[in-house]
């Protein structure tokens, strides 16, 4: 992709600074089309270790390796099945991560000790340009730039709030286009399975491969984004199966004097100074884009409870439903 023409001179200057920091073993935050990432050069073990420390993430949880050039896929992975090539050629650059057997060039510190690696070419021009400027046969390991278990960042301020004093450079690319993490597909052993629904719709993957895609049971993988409790708010979050149930829960909580935010996809029906309504789009892509920023705002506003109307039971809402279920886990426990 010709990223040079898509970014300003000012941004190029910041990207150059980020490249210098990465080459010197530093950690930088950068925008992708999904969420912001916290990146380090994969060839520098100390820099990788810093990512785990800053995030507070256990060191056996693997990171996604980002690179910029499809022709280098064989440099990072081995035994690449035909289906993985097809997905890579069609969806990259884009919000899709492929799990493949790792090549010798991927350190196990990045993969949490596993022999497989998560790979992705992001499509945000700043991310791509950063990778291009870093040089050929270079790659950036980057988890989402949030503290372990919390909501992912979808703008530079979110990153600044979490880690401002701990990161060398935060590249600002504005609000993320997609706002939810990449879809993760396991392509190991010719067995194409969904590990995490995300920015690339499962229907598009099925259409391309002309096959059904199984959802991999979480017990079979080591993947923090698939832990039951993840993407969590500090405020207890409760999913209400229907808008009617949301309404009656709101009334109950109101009567108990509990300061509540109700996130719906239909017009507000109760008004009270103890209840705050948030109207979200009734369409999965627009909803997904706003979800994390909305949860953060509600969390910061010191509500005692967040109620959310459950998304429709529809494949297109899978990624939103997945994040909401995990965000609500601590409440259900």
* Interacting residues with Mg ion (CB under 5 A): 144
CA dihedral 118, 45, 222, 158 (to 10 degrees): -80
Q: Residue 58 Cβ, how far from Mg ion at the closest point, in Å?
A: 13
Q: Residue 124 Cβ, how far from ligand TXA at the closest point, in Å?
A: 9
- Closest CB to ligand TXA among residues 305, 326: 326
Site pattern 12..41 for ligand TXA (x: CB under 6 A): --------------------x-xx-x----
CB 290 within 8 A of CB 280: yes
Pick what 184 binds: Mg ion, ligand TXA, none; C-beta below 5 to 8 Å, kind-dependent.
ligand TXA
Out of 7, 51, 54, 142, the only residue in the binding site for ligand TXA (CB under 6 A) is 142
Which of the ranges 15-23, 56-64, 77-85, 153-161 carries the binding residues for ligand TXA, by CB under 6 A? Answer: 56-64
- The CA distances from residue 232 to 125, 325, 328, in Å, are 29, 10, 7
Out of 144, 155, 250, 294, the only residue in the binding site for ligand TXA (CB under 6 A) is 144
Number of residues counted as binding ligand TXA (CB under 6 A)? 29
Q: Residue 154 Cβ, how far from ligand TXA at the closest point, in Å?
A: 11
Residue nearest Mg ion (C-beta atom): 144
Handedness of CA 148, 152, 156, 162 (dihedral sign): negative
Q: What is the DSSP letter of 204?
A: H
Say how far apart CA 191 and CA 100 lie, in whole Å: 11
CB 140 within 8 A of CB 36: no
- Closest CB to ligand TXA among residues 7, 319: 319
Can you name the residues that pair with 238 across neighbouring β-strands? 307
CB 54 within 8 A of CB 63: no
Burial 295-307 (b: 16+ CB within 10 A, else e): bbebbeeebebbb
Consecutive H or E run containing 46: helix 45-55
Site pattern 226..255 for ligand TXA (x: CB under 6 A): x-----------------------------
Instruction: Name the site residues for ligand TXA (rule: CB under 6 A).
Output: 32, 34-35, 37, 61-64, 97, 99, 111, 114, 116-118, 120, 122, 142-144, 181-182, 184, 195, 221, 223-226
């Amino acid at each position: 992709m010709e990223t040079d023409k898509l970014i300003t001179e000012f941004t190029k200057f910041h990207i150059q600074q980020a490249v210098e920091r990465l080459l010197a073993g530093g950690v930088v935050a950068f925008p992708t089309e999904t969420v912001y990432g916290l990146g380090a050069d994969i060839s520098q073990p100390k820099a990788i270790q810093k990512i785990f420390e800053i995030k507070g993430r256990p060191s056996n949880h693997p990171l996604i390796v980002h690179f910029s050039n499809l022709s280098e896929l064989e440099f990072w992975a081995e035994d690449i099945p035909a289906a993985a090539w097809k997905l890579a050629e069609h969806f990259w650059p884009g919000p899709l991560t492929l799990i493949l057997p790792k090549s010798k060039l991927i350190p196990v510190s990045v993969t949490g000790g596993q022999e497989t690696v998560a790979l992705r070419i992001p499509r945000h021009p700043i991310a791509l340009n950063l990778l291009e400027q870093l040089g050929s046969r270079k790659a950036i390991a980057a988890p989402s730039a949030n503290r372990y278990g919390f909501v992912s960042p979808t703008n530079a301020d979110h990153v600044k709030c979490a880690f401002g004093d701990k990161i060398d450079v935060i590249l600002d690319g504005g609000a993320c286009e997609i706002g939810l993490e990449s879809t993760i597909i396991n392509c190991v052993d010719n067995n194409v399975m969904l590990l995490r629904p995300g920015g690339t719709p499962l229907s598009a993957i099925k259409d391309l491969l002309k096959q059904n895609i199984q959802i991999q049971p979480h017990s079979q993988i080591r993947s923090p984004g698939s832990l039951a409790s993840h993407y969590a708010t500090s405020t207890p979050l409760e999913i209400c199966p229907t808008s009617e149930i949301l309404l009656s829960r709101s009334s109950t909580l109101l009567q108990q004097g509990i300061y509540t935010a109700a996130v719906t996809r239909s017009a507000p029906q109760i008004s009270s100074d103890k209840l705050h309504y948030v109207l979200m789009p009734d369409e999965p892509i627009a909803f997904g884009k706003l979800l994390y920023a909305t949860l953060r705002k509600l969390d910061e506003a010191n509500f005692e409870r967040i109620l959310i109307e459950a998304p429709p039971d529809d494949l297109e809402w899978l990624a939103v439903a997945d994040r909401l279920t995990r965000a609500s886990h601590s409440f259900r426990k």
